[in-house]
Amino acid sequence: MIQLTDFEKELQSTFSLSDKDTRRLERVISDLCLVVGMQSFEIFDFLRFGAEDEFAKLKDDYNWEAFRIRIQKKLIKRSP
């Protein structure tokens, strides 16, 4: 059995994920922290309130890399 951290347990309870998917989501969040310069709790808050479409697409295709890229594009500010 996988031992989850407190943060992973919070992810699991919020998004109703399996242990394996919880670990994957935590890895996506860690990667995003490095790329966009936000803290993990800030990305977690964004995922709770601003990523419903991305989670729906993830459930359809189960492509974690595409999920990460879609979230990353939403989090990075683009100048017009």
| Residues sharing a CB contact under 8 Å with residue 22, sequence separation 6 or more, in sequence order | 4, 8, 9, 11, 12, 15
Instruction: With a cut of 60, say whether residue 4 has pLDDT above it.
Output: yes
pTM exceeds 0.75: yes
Burial code (b: 16+ CB inside 10 Å, e: under 16) for 20-33 equals ebbbbbbebbeebe
**pLDDT mean across residues, the chain:** 91
Task: State residue 24's pLDDT score.
Answer: 96
What is residue 38's three-state secondary structure?
coil
Could you tell me the residue ranges of all domains in the chain? 39-79
**Model confidence over 23-45: pLDDT tens digits?**
999 999 999 999 999 999 999 99
